[in-house]
Amino acid sequence: MVYLITGGERSGKSGYAQELALQLTNAPMYVATARKWDEDFQNRIDRHQQERDERWTNIEKEKHLSEIDFSGKVALIDCVTLWLTNFFVDTKNDVALSLEEAKAEFLKIANQPDSTLIIVTNEIGMGLHADTHVGRKFTELQGWMNQFLAKNADTVVLMVSGIPVTIKG
């Protein structure tokens, strides 16, 4: 089962996804995809970790999510935007290669038996238009990956001002 939780910044995606995970199991897995770029990012990671109690198994994985055994587990993957950023930076902003690699990783994890994946992503294309060429390329990458994930998800929820709106499923 794959749930995709999408929406704008501070729309309530992560909180909703965490509540959903705890409804589905008493022992969810949290997969953080953030790369520790600087002290501010480390503070953000620390804050998010403090929001989760002892019921959670926390795993940090920047790119190769298929190295994690999701079989028989409920896992929250937070978030696609940071995950894609890692591919994008490592491929020197190659949209096609980043998309190919991320899709391949997703298909490997989605095909693991008896797993429930709750994937958080951002609708960055609904916000401000990127000022830079690289920013516009990343917005395209994010949009194409979101379309791919939504097509392959069983349920898609759009968060609007903290309100979950089911758009698929």
The residues assigned a catalytic role are 48
136 to each of 78, 133, 142, how far by Cα in Å? 22, 5, 10
85 and 41 Cβ atoms separated by less than 8 Å: no
DSSP at 119 = E
What gap in Å lies between CA 52 and CA 62, rounded to an integer? 19
Positive/negative CA dihedral, 13, 18, 24, 30? positive
> How many CB atoms are closer than 10 A to CB 68?
18
The angle, 0 to 180 degrees and rounded to 10, between the axes of the packed helices 133-152 and 95-110 is 20
Q: Which of 65, 80, 104, 61 is nearest to 96 (CA)?
A: 104
Name beta bridge partners: 48.
Answer: none
